Amino acid sequence: MDELKMTILGQYRELNISKDTLLTLNKKLALPAIKLTPFARKRRQQALYESLSWPKGPDQDHRIYKELYFIENHSLGVSKPGKEASPEYKGCRNYKTHEKTNNPNDMLPLIVPRDK
């Protein structure tokens, strides 16, 4: 077993969660053996529109950070705009015209230590 799997199993053992309980949960949470794209499409669109509504700074030097989660003493989030939003960036292609362009909605994912 790899190190990560052993660490996770150790955490469950410390919480007195039995192997049988883990197997039962695993079966209940297993994804169905069907195509999930139609099921996920609406949720993806909702997530996209939500992320577009978050504030963004005027440029990469003045990004606005949006905290999405926090775990212990770390914050997980995104800063807007990301590097692909720069007007000088031409590493993307427009999906309709195939013209080289930037991505004005790009976000920079970050994990940041939080002060307690």
What is this structure's pTM? 0.62
What are the pLDDT digits (tens) for 14-50?
A: 888 888 898 899 899 988 788 888 888 999 999 999 9
Report the alpha-carbon distance of residue 51 to residue 42 in Å, rounded. Answer: 14
What are the pLDDT digits (tens) for 43-93?
A: 999 999 999 999 999 999 999 999 999 888 899 999 999 999 999 999 999
Q: Please give the pLDDT value at position 94.
A: 92
Amino acid (one-letter) located at 4: L
Q: Please give the pLDDT value at position 1.
A: 53
- 39 half-sphere exposure, CB direction, 13 A CA radius: 6
Q: Please give the pLDDT value at position 116.
A: 53
Query: Phi and psi at residue 8, in whole multiples of 5°?
Result: -65, -45
